[in-house]
Structure 1
Amino acid sequence: MEVRSRAPGKIILAGEHAVVHGSTAIAAAIDLYTHVLFRLPPPSENQVSVELELKDMGLVFSWPSQRLEEAFSTIDTLPPILQPCSEDRLELILSLVKEKSIPEDKLWLSSGICAFLYLYTSIHGYKPATVAITSELPLGSGLGSSASFCVALASAFLSLTTAVSVNGERSGWLTLSASNLDLVNKWAFEGEKILHGKPSGIDNTVSTLGSLIMFKSGELTQLQSTTPLRMLITNTKVTRNTKALVAGVAEKASRHPGVIHAIFTAIDFISKELATIIETPAIGDISIRAREKLIEELMEMNQGLLQIIKVSHDSIEKVLQTTAKYKLASKLTGAGGGGCVLTLLPTSISNTVVEKVVAELEALGFQCLKAEVGGNGVQVCFG
């Protein structure tokens, strides 16, 4: 029994920071994925361990099934239904992870391995298995890599149970039914809680459902894009402290409530207008370019407002200056203070120009990724 799954990363197109204060934001899936290969071996193979292979890092961790069964029997029986990871269970999982020799410079992987063990043992118990993971997403850059990881794991694990049924032809990449996607999303959210404590749930929802999602004050609306959007995503490789950036904006709001409220209101209008443009059909080359020009203007306005509240960064400004030379619109995505920058690639732009932009940005030490925006959510493939 074998299944592959892939779950996309995400970007924030508009509404960063303001969304924390009640404004509208728009998130979108991108065609950069976390891939999981999950295999339950037949009894004839005599495999006795649960094995996790992080292929990108050349790391393998394994736990004998008997060791897992003995460890978990000391606290309670396996949860028969979806439920949050209890403190006892998390403490036990942490002890199982600490038994492994994780390289000192990779200790940050511990929380992800904990999420893996929680999801696996909750869904499949202690059955021997092999789980191999690769990712096209840079880690810790604000592109939803952890949510993508949890969604890919949850979908793969559930696909080899009776909880998820796949009807029809089981060939190629398949999208699960709405009810199955809801179950995957709920499990992934529990994994995200192990990784982040109190996640918003936006990242795992976008990774599960795909497309574009407008969200405000906990309410989510899926948008239907009428024309593909292409983005150049520049990873500045500058790590940022999201909590500190959010706190800094909150402090400004307390000192200048009227001004910051006006900025957040403007950002709310930008997000809503962007949603309208995204869902409005564009017919013909002229219409498509006119639509792109509107999106570019909104991106630049959103970036300007984010600069006013001081969440940009020197590295982000370098990206903006570089792309502006080619008359391309860019904005930060996520918390700012480093992280990633989005640049809209118009349908009319030539590959030669794109490669020139990429070469300049990479010469500055940045990483460039090209992505389609608003595509498929999580998918599975059997055989």
Structure 2
Amino acid sequence: MVSEVLLVSAPGKVILHGEHAVVHGKVALAVALNLRTFLRLQRHSDGKVDLNLPNIGIRRAWDVASFQQLDTSFLEQGGTTVPTPEQMEKLKEVAGLTEDCPNHECLAVLAFIYLYLSICRKQRTLPSMDITVWSELPAGAGLGSSGAYSVCLAAALLTISGVIANPLKDGEPVSRWSSEELELINKWAFQGEKVIHGNPSGVDNAVSTWGGALRYQEGKITPLKRPPTLKILLTNTKVPRSTKVLVSSVKSRLLKFPDIMAPLLTSINAISLECERVLGEMAAAPTPEHYLVLEELIDMNQHHLNALGVGHASLDQLCQVTRAHGLHSKLTGSGGGGCGITLLRTDMERPEVEATKQALESCGFDCWETSIGTPGVSVHSATSLDLPVQQGLDNL
């Protein structure tokens, strides 16, 4: 029996190693970031579906009866393909979206409508519900916020529809679904990502579903076994960048200097593989020496990324500030600004961590102390959440 209120969370993601090289067939390591998206679903019987997305200022409501009367046969054509422009227009019509709706808001609503109708329409009556989704992840920062959103929606809708069971037992603070159920969550979340992004890689929703770390190469996604949870500082330089432009610039440089650039990409691939090996060792018994190797790999990869041409003065500043505190940083994602990660060793004293955070914030950056390699999509009891998270939900 599904409880009256369902509370689900899913993590964001960062690329640990392999940015840009992955575009050219090399290995990338993606890890779950413990800044999470939370979804609260409450069943009711008022005949309405309410969607509240406070992070982007969206609140919408629909009559279930209006959905019941729709011809949703066009959803059957969705399968595992990217929704066609015609299907997207049909979804906009179903959702009642106007032409002046901002694109990111429009896509978030469309992903919900797509998943709600696709997953729930085989029930005799579409369910009435309130859904609120709130996130610790900044949108548009390359941290997998839309992937976490899609995963939360898929997990909640599949559970509320009875397609998968709610794994949370009485008295448990948190629980996760079985591997088979996670596969189904990931499949539907990928469909939600296609609505939002068109033709995504599938990495973001996979990391958000499974958690931990995974290897990605030429479309093949392989979860790493029992990766360790590592503490980091995540820093957003708040410098805007275009992933498309940066990817294109690397390609141009590769064509111009093939004998220089190709070895750099091969070296980045080797860094990813060495990191994967070290993480495997750390799962059994982490040592200070492992952290020293991870720091060296971070430094080498950051230099390589600068050589690829995707660095930025703000990222150089981030690395200089953390180096002054004995820490090692690199960009994560497409570069050109955006975000960077800083590894925190287990022997770091609290005052030193706080001093580093203050120094970064004094540069005008946003900084979070968090962790990577954390669990994927989970269901919670309301009393299990940290106080700041609970307060965030209570204030919605």
Q: TM-score, normalised by structure 1?
A: 0.91
Query: Which residue of structure 2 aligns with residue 268 of structure 1?
Result: 269
Query: Which residue of structure 1 aligns with residue 195 of structure 2?
Result: 194
Query: Which residue of structure 1 aligns with residue 132 of structure 2?
Result: 132
Q: Is the 8 A contact 2:8 2:156 kept in 1?
A: yes
Q: Is the 8 A contact 1:282 1:288 kept in 2?
A: no
Q: Is the 8 A contact 2:18 2:269 kept in 1?
A: yes
Offset, 1:302? 0.3
Deviations 1:295-352 (A, max 9, x none): 0000010000000011011211111111111121000001111111000011111111
What amino acid maps onto 2:262 in structure 1?
Answer: H
The answer on 1:76 being equivalent to 2:79 is: no
CA distance in 2, matches of 1:61, 1:276: 47
Query: Which residue of structure 2 aligns with residue 295 of structure 1?
Result: 294
Instruction: Tell me: CA distance 1:177–1:361, structure 2 relative to 1, closer, same or farther (3 Å).
Output: same
Offset, 1:80? 10
Task: Give unpaired runs (5+ residues) of structure 1.
Answer: none
Query: Which residue of structure 1 aligns with residue 88 of structure 2?
Result: 90
CA distance in 1, matches of 2:317, 2:368: 17
The answer on 1:335 being equivalent to 2:338 is: no
Query: Which residue of structure 2 aligns with residue 119 of structure 1?
Result: 115
Query: Which residue of structure 2 aligns with residue 108 of structure 1?
Result: 104
Instruction: Tell me: CA distance 1:225–1:304, structure 2 relative to 1, closer, same or farther (3 Å).
Output: farther
Q: Which moved more, 1:200-209 or 1:31-40?
A: 31-40
Q: Which moved more, 1:75-84 or 1:182-191?
A: 75-84
Q: Is the 8 A contact 2:232 2:371 kept in 1?
A: yes
Query: Which residue of structure 2 aligns with residue 359 of structure 1?
Result: 358
Instruction: Tell me: CA distance 1:93–1:77, structure 2 relative to 1, closer, same or farther (3 Å).
Output: closer
Q: Which moved more, 1:263-272 or 1:273-282?
A: 273-282
Instruction: Tell me: CA distance 1:326–1:381, structure 2 relative to 1, closer, same or farther (3 Å).
Output: closer
Instruction: Tell me: CA distance 1:101–1:245, structure 2 relative to 1, closer, same or farther (3 Å).
Output: closer
The answer on 1:32 being equivalent to 2:35 is: yes
CA distance in 1, matches of 2:301, 2:191: 32
Offset, 1:237? 1.3
CA distance in 1, matches of 2:15, 2:167: 33
Offset, 1:165? 2.4
Q: How does 1:1-383 map to 2 (within 5 A)?
A: 1-41=4-44, 43=45, 47-70=46-69, 72-73=70-71, 76=73, 79=76, 84=81, 85-97=83-95, 99=97, 107-125=103-121, 126-166=126-166, 169=169, 171-225=172-226, 227-281=228-282, 288-381=287-380
Q: Is the 8 A contact 2:282 2:290 kept in 1?
A: no
Q: Is the 8 A contact 1:229 1:374 kept in 2?
A: yes
CA distance in 2, matches of 1:142, 1:249: 18
Q: Is the 8 A contact 2:115 2:192 kept in 1?
A: yes
SS of the aligned residue for 1:143 comes to coil
Deviations 1:171-196 (A, max 9, x none): 43211111110111011111111111
Offset, 1:101? 10
CA distance in 2, matches of 1:22, 1:95: 39
SS of the aligned residue for 2:35 comes to strand
Q: Is the 8 A contact 2:328 2:343 kept in 1?
A: yes
Q: Which moved more, 1:153-162 or 1:80-89?
A: 80-89
Q: Which moved more, 1:294-303 or 1:220-229?
A: 220-229
Offset, 1:69? 3.3
CA distance in 2, matches of 1:99, 1:21: 38
SS of the aligned residue for 2:26 comes to coil
Tell me how many residue pairs correspond in the alignment. Answer: 373
Deviations 1:112-166 (A, max 9, x none): 1111111111112343211001101111111111100100110011111232124
SS of the aligned residue for 2:36 comes to strand
Q: Is the 8 A contact 1:24 1:214 kept in 2?
A: yes
What amino acid maps onto 2:5 in structure 1?
Answer: E
CA distance in 2, matches of 1:283, 1:159: 34
SS of the aligned residue for 2:186 comes to helix
Q: TM-score, normalised by structure 2?
A: 0.88
Offset, 1:228? 2.9
SS of the aligned residue for 1:139 comes to coil
Deviations 1:12-60 (A, max 9, x none): 100100011111111100211110111221x3xxx12211011335541
Q: Is the 8 A contact 2:226 2:283 kept in 1?
A: no
Instruction: Tell me: CA distance 1:66–1:204, structure 2 relative to 1, closer, same or farther (3 Å).
Output: same
Q: Is the 8 A contact 2:14 2:332 kept in 1?
A: yes
Q: Is the 8 A contact 1:61 1:100 kept in 2?
A: no
Instruction: Tell me: CA distance 1:98–1:256, structure 2 relative to 1, closer, same or farther (3 Å).
Output: farther
Instruction: Tell me: CA distance 1:243–1:375, structure 2 relative to 1, closer, same or farther (3 Å).
Output: same
SS of the aligned residue for 1:280 comes to helix
Instruction: Tell me: CA distance 1:193–1:282, structure 2 relative to 1, closer, same or farther (3 Å).
Output: closer
What amino acid maps onto 2:117 in structure 1?
Answer: T
SS of the aligned residue for 2:374 comes to coil
Q: Is the 8 A contact 1:141 1:339 kept in 2?
A: yes
Compute the RMSD of aligned alpha carbons.
2.3
SS of the aligned residue for 2:73 comes to coil
Offset, 1:254? 1.2
Q: Is the 8 A contact 2:12 2:208 kept in 1?
A: yes
Question: Quick one: percent identity of the two aligned structures?
Answer: 35
